[in-house]
Amino acid sequence: MSLAKHTLDLSLTDKVWFKYVSLKNKNELTDKSEVSLNSIAALGMLSGRAEFLFALLVFALAITASVVDGAYPRYIAFPACLFAFLIIFFTKRVMLYKKFGFGSQWVMDVSKEQLTISPQAIKGRASGTQKIARENISEVVFHYLLLKDKKSGKLKTTANLCFAEILLKDGTKVELNGTRIGFFDLLYLMVFFDYPLVYRNTSAGGSSDIAIILLRLLSLSAIAASLAKLALN
């Protein structure tokens, strides 16, 4: 794994990199196109502490469901645990809606001349929507990992984009929020518009987001297994 910055000669038809691009009318792009990117609603995240707290509550509920299994009748234990989980789930949903709004929201415009970025798409605090002229960009850095999976006797490689930042010629850095922007869509557009791109083969910068997603999956798997056991026993 090379942590040093390097360039890659990517083709827009490369399935390793652009298999999951979801841009509409991508085959109709021209040099004069301006493309709006919307947020990925399912990946909206609260602060690290809040995410950890909610995951901890779900884990605690999963343990509780296992403890009460057999100690109380199913018609009492299962509805009680399910109701408790729904309270946790919808409380978190409300907090996410307050932070990001309902559903998918506009986060970025990309054209050959400039980038227009919503504060939601920027890591850390942003004073407002930022417009960055292409001529002011020194480079755009994408951190990636190449994941290999052997299925049906064939080795398949898939790229995973972990982090992206825009480096300006005045030394300013703009770190992009990968839980709001679809990095594959953004990379596709930047390759098409020939932005100055460099890459680093590392998960650095996006590891915290990956950890939160894994924590979510583990906690949801735990409560799903516990509720299923309660319902079926």
pLDDT in tens, 81-108: 999 999 999 998 888 777 766 667 889 9
pLDDT at 2 over 60: no
Among the ranges given (4-8, 45-49, 227-231), the one the predictor scored with the smallest mean pLDDT: 45-49
Q: Specify the pairing of strand 106-111 against strand 34-38.
A: antiparallel
Mean pLDDT throughout 23-36? Answer: 91
| E strands, 29-100, in order | 34-38
Examine the pLDDT at 35 and tell me if it is beyond 90: yes
Helix axes 74-100, 48-68, angle to 10 degrees: 170
- Greater model confidence, 127 or 103: 127
pLDDT, residue 166, reads 96
Percent residues over pLDDT 70 in the chain: 88
pLDDT value for 150: 66
The per-residue pLDDT for range 141-175, each reduced to its tens digit, is 999 988 777 666 666 788 888 889 999 999 999 99
Higher pLDDT, 116 or 179: 116
**Residue 133 bridge partners (DSSP):** 114
Q: Can you say whether the dihedral through the CA atoms of 202, 207, 213, 214 is positive or negative?
A: positive
- Between CA 135 and CA 177 the distance in angstroms is 22
Q: Quick one: pLDDT at residue 88?
A: 92
Q: Which residue has the higher pLDDT, 209 or 10?
A: 10
Tell me the pLDDT of the chain averaged across its residues: 86
- Binned at pLDDT 50, 70 and 90, residue 208 comes out as low
Task: Average the pLDDT over 57-72 and give the result.
Answer: 87
Do residues 200 and 141 make contact, with C-beta atoms less than 8 angstroms apart?
yes
- Sketch the domain layout of the chain as residue ranges: 15-44+116-206, 48-101+212-232
SS3 141: strand
Question: Mean pLDDT throughout 5-20?
Answer: 89
Identify each DSSP E strand in 69-172 by its residue range.
Answer: 106-111, 114-117, 130-133, 137-151, 154-168
